[in-house]
Amino acid sequence: MPSLDVCLSPELLHLYELKGKVVVVVDILRATSSMVTAFAHGIERIVPVSSLDDCLNQKQEGFLTAAERDGRKAEGFDLGNSPFSYMEPHIKGKTLIMTTTNGTHAIRLSMAADKVIAGAFLNLGSVARYLQEEQKDALVVCAGWKGNFNLEDTLFAGGVADRLAETFTPANDATLAARHLYRLAQQDKIAFLSESSHVKRLKNLDIIKDIEYCLQEDLYVVVPVLADDSLVVLEKEIVN
């Protein structure tokens, strides 16, 4: 039986072997939720980059760009990191260059894995199906916040563990803990996360609707997969 492991922060990634594994990168609030939303609404390709400068250079080449720092849209870019801005018809068929505080960085750090996919509650079922079909050891990499643990990414890791409980072996205590937390939170994630750091941070920016949206499960059938340096989708149902 393949194993399912959880890396609770990108700072711990040096402890994990990525080769031979499928990595699921998650940044529930909000990078990977926005990516999944963008693909579900027809974006063609997302190139995750680490720095604002890299993103700006691509803007000068004519690409659509998105940049977020500390929860806010960075000045001079087309889009920020609200999933609602990825529901607009004008994104269809476009390539997006994207940089966020933690999410895009975590994707770039995971590139040594056999496969890298982007996960969110919005595509939890698709992620679980993908891992099931791959039948390889899997690792959920939680983007966290500036190297710190966060609760919402851990809950997602627990959701993956819960969906795959019959077919994957938990690799260690992080997987077990994540699943326990997910089962505690499952009925009301919003209440469970009400005291969490990033929820408080985003509430201060008055974006509660983003939080509520990102905590919904199985809204989309989409699996964003890294191919070279870009995310593209394998499975998708475009929302009209």
Report the interface residues with ligand 3SL, using CB under 6 A.
27, 29-31, 68, 71, 81, 100-103, 143
CB of 3 to ligand 3SL, least distance (A): 27
Q: How far apart are CA 99 and CA 195, in angstroms?
A: 27
Longest Cα separation, the chain: 49
Question: Cβ closer to ligand 3SL: 146 or 180?
Answer: 146
- What are the tokens at 158? 């627990």
Instruction: Specify the residue, 109 or 164, whose C-beta has the smaller distance to ligand 3SL.
Output: 109
**How many whole angstroms separate alpha carbon 167 and alpha carbon 38?**
30
Q: Shortest distance, CB of residue 84 to ligand 3SL, whole angstroms?
A: 12
Query: Minimum distance between the CB of residue 172 and ligand 3SL, rounded to whole angstroms?
Result: 25
Q: Are 152 and 199 in contact (CB under 8 A)?
A: yes
CB of 7 to ligand 3SL, least distance (A): 16
Q: Which is nearer to ligand 3SL, 4 or 124 (CB)?
A: 124
Strands 169-170 and 3-7: parallel
Q: Which of 137, 153 has the CB closer to ligand 3SL? A: 153
To ligand 3SL, the closest distance from the beta carbon of 201 in angstroms equals: 7
Q: Are 136 and 114 in contact (CB under 8 A)?
A: yes
Q: Which CB atom, from 60 or from 204, has the smaller least distance to ligand 3SL?
A: 204
Q: Can you tell me the distance from the alpha carbon of 197 to that of 84, in angstroms, rounded to the nearest whole number?
A: 22
Chain residue at closest Cβ approach to ligand 3SL: 100
Least separation in angstroms between CB 29 and ligand 3SL: 4
Q: Which of 148/169 has CB closer to ligand 3SL? A: 148
Q: How far is the CB of 59 from ligand 3SL (least distance, A)?
A: 19
Specify the residue, 100 or 110, whose C-beta has the smaller distance to ligand 3SL.
100
Element (H, E) at 151: helix 151-163
Please give the Cα distance from 80 to 71 (Å, whole number): 9
User: Which tokens go with 211?
Assistant: 């939080």
What are the respective helix, strand and coil percentages of the chain, to the nearest 5? 40, 25, 35
Residue 227 to residue 229: CA distance in whole angstroms: 6
How many CA atoms are closer than 13 Å to the CA of 22, on its beta-carbon side? Answer: 23
